């Protein structure tokens, strides 16, 4: 009924679509992993930043400028994470967004007292732990 050439083309087309479908999902997974790792990196940078403020090593102007820079990075990540994602990583990205928003509570003022510093460190530990728990495996 069908010639061999038509059957080969249909089989080749089906295999190509299957491979492309798998690549699309794994790319979404890789992208989600990269976004979560970027959030972890932002958390680590925030941790170093608040330690430097706590130790009195930064100027007021640097603190103001770097805080704005960190907020800008956070906004960019939130924007990226709000794009549609594969079902397998959608829940992880929702948790990552919540952790990213929790970083707002940690962004520092120009001075950090001991109790505020300890509370920020604890919040950052929680954020890092939550992000590491949802990080998709490669």
Whether 5 is covered by a domain: the verdict is no
pLDDT of 113: 87
Residue 85 lies in a domain: yes
Q: For the chain, how many structural domains are there in total?
A: 1
Q: Is residue 19 part of a domain?
A: no
Assess if residue 6 is contained within a domain: no
Q: What predicted TM-score, i.e. pTM, was given to this entire model?
A: 0.77
What pLDDT shows up at residue 62? 94
Contact 106, 44 (CB under 8 A): no
pLDDT tens for the chain, residues 1 to 138: 566 666 666 566 665 655 555 554 444 888 999 999 999 999 999 999 999 999 999 999 999 999 999 999 999 999 998 888 888 888 899 999 999 999 988 887 777 889 999 999 999 999 999 999 998 887
Q: For residue 83, what pLDDT is reported? A: 85
Angle formed at CA 90 by CA 89 and CA 94, multiple of 5 degrees: 115
pLDDT at 25: 46
Question: Cα(64)–Cα(128) distance, rounded to whole angstroms?
Answer: 24
Residue 21 falls inside a structural domain: no
pLDDT, position 66: 94
124 in Cβ contact with 46 (< 8 Å): yes
For residue 3, what pLDDT is reported? 67
Provide the sign of the torsion angle of the four alpha carbons 112, 118, 123, 126, taken in this order.
positive
**Which domain does 104 fall in, by range?**
29-134
Q: Is residue 86 one of the residues assigned to a domain? A: yes
């Amino acid at each position: 009924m069908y010639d061999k050439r038509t059957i080969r083309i249909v089989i080749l087309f089906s295999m190509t679509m299957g491979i492309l479908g798998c690549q699309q999902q794994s790319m979404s997974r890789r992208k989600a992993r990269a976004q979560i790792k970027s959030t972890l990196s932002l958390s680590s940078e925030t941790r170093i930043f608040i330690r430097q403020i706590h130790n009195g090593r930064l100027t007021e102007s640097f603190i103001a400028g770097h805080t704005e820079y960190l907020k800008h990075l956070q906004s960019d990540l939130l924007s990226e994470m709000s794009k549609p994602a594969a079902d397998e990583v959608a829940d992880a990205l929702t948790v990552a967004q919540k952790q990213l928003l929790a970083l707002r509570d940690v962004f520092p003022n120009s001075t950090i007292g001991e109790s505020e510093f300890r509370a920020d460190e604890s919040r950052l530990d929680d954020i890092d732990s939550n992000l590491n728990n949802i990080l998709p495996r490669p």
